[in-house]
């Protein structure tokens, strides 16, 4: 079968709720099953306070009317993000094969069900471009976790000729271990635990005027409360064998309140609490590597919003030493774009009827074509 390429838009809204990551990417066939990728444009369309609060409220509760209205409104936000990033790229809509949209996860119950808020028909109507959406459900139906789904992109786009761990630090942390030749049967991936979701929530709890610890400044002025990190690493999630995935359902508001209370019991200042939350992320990643990654990894590429926190990156480098920890952009492009590019690739795989899941990552019974198509 002839392998095709093309230009796609990828849209991603993650657990950190920073905004919609929108990327325009051109894929071309590479060696074997691999593809090469050219990032044509990338932009994060930040949520307004009202938009963020509506999404957070939907994760807690809501009426059928509220969910219905939010889905349509969310579809317009996604469509606007797609139109804007295409303008940045100077790409005509007629030249785009499809938009791949992850949607916004409202609930994720590994092995049972998953729910991503989305409105592909709204996106298709507003852009005039076909939309591929709802990627996770088929993997769950096949007995998988429905996550992580980025490993297919890690394997097909970012193999690099050496054993690599591609560590994403978004709201949730996840890692993909890719062999030198990118062979899918040897790819493994799982969620390591919290990315920035606990850090961000702690910061917002301590100072509602702040959304996150910008440049790690709060953590830099605090001291890590080691006993609190150790106690929280005793959570059963961290000891569970992969494949596994998690989300806000575990690291929720109640978890954050218990975390802050545990720090306060040790006499922690606000800076100490943020530093300890940052150390929890770094330590949980390093702990996962020690427990579950026997492969001879030579390099860790770090992407996602957490990679822009220098304190977190330093803590992670120290925790994984002597393994080199390298920001993703030093090898490829802006690491915040990686997940949006991954869903652009998943849209391409859907149109080509190529399976998009990696069973060694999700635990599914086999490889499946993911997503549903809404034609232009």
| Confidence check: pLDDT of 2 > 70 | no
Percent of the chain scoring above 90 in pLDDT: 91
Mean pLDDT, range 174-187, rounded to an integer: 93
My answer on whether omega of the bond before 163 falls inside 30° of 0, hence cis, is no
Q: What is the mean pLDDT of the chain?
A: 95
DSSP string, 38-92: EEEEEEEEEPPHHHHHHHHHHHH---HHHHHHHHHHHHHHHHHHHHHHHHHHT--
Interval 206-248: pLDDT, tens: 999 999 999 999 999 999 999 999 999 999 999 999 999 998 8
pLDDT at 3: 64
DSSP string, 324-371: -EEEGGGTSS-GGGHHHHHHHHHHHHHHTT-----HHHH--SS-----
Mean pLDDT, range 18-46, rounded to an integer: 94
Contact present, 18 and 37 (Cβ < 8 Å) = no
| Confidence check: pLDDT of 336 > 50 | yes
Q: What is the rounded CA–CA span in Å between residue 336 and residue 341?
A: 10
Rg of the chain on CA atoms, in Å? 20
Query: Confidence band (pLDDT; 50, 70, 90) for 249?
Result: confident
- pTM, two decimals, is 0.92
Interval 154-163: pLDDT, tens: 999 998 889 9
DSSP string, 149-191: -THHHHHHH--TTS-EEEEEESSEEEEEEE-TT--GGG-EEEE
Nearest to 46 by CA among 9, 18, 82, 81: 18
Mean pLDDT, range 340-357, rounded to an integer: 97
| Confidence check: pLDDT of 266 > 60 | yes
pLDDT at 111: 82
Query: Confidence band (pLDDT; 50, 70, 90) for 1?
Result: very low
Contact present, 193 and 182 (Cβ < 8 Å) = no
Structural domains of the chain in order of their starting residue, each with its CATH number: 6-150+336-374 (3.30.420.40), 159-330 (3.30.420.40)
pLDDT at 247: 86
| Confidence check: pLDDT of 30 > 70 | yes
pLDDT at 181: 87
């Amino acid at each position: 079968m002839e392998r095709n390429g093309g230009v796609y838009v990828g849209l991603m809204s993650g657990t950190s709720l920073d905004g919609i990551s929108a990327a325009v990417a051109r894929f071309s066939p590479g060696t074997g099953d691999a593809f090469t990728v050219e990032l044509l444009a990338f932009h994060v369309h930040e949520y307004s306070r009202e938009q963020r609060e509506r999404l957070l409220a939907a994760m807690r509760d809501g009426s059928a009317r509220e969910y219905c209205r939010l889905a349509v409104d969310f579809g317009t936000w996604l469509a606007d993000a797609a139109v804007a990033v295409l303008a940045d790229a100077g790409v005509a809509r007629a030249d785009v094969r499809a938009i791949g949209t992850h949607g916004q996860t409202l609930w994720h119950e590994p092995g049972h069900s998953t729910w991503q808020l989305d409105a592909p028909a709204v996106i298709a109507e507003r852009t005039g471009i076909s939309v591929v959406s709802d990627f996770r459900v088929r993997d769950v139906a096949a007995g998988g976790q429905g996550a992580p789904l980025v490993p297919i992109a890690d394997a097909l786009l970012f193999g690099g000729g050496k054993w690599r761990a591609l560590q994403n630090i978004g709201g949730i942390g996840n890692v993909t271990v890719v062999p030198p030749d990118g062979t899918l049967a040897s790819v493994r991936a799982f969620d390591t635990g919290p990315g920035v979701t606990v850090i961000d929530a702690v910061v917002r709890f301590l100072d509602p005027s702040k959304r996150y610890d910008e440049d790690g400044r709060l953590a830099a002025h605090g001291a890590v409360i080691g006993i609190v990190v150790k106690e929280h690493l005793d959570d059963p999630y961290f000891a569970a064998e992969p494949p596994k995935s998690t989300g806000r359902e575990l690291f929720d508001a109640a978890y954050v309140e218990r975390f802050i209370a545990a720090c306060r019991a040790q006499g922690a200042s606000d800076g100490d609490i943020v530093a300890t939350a940052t150390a929890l992320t770094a330590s949980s990643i390093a702990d996962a590597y020690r427990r579950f990654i026997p492969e001879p990894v030579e390099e860790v590429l770090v992407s996602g919003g957490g990679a822009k926190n220098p304190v977190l990156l330093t803590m992670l480098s120290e925790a994984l030493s002597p393994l080199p920890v390298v920001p993703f952009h030093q090898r490829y492009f802006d690491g915040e774009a990686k997940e949006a590019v991954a869903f652009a690739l998943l849209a391409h795989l859907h149109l080509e009827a190529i399976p998009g899941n990696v069973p060694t990552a999700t635990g599914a019974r086999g490889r499946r074509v993911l997503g549903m198509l809404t034609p232009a």
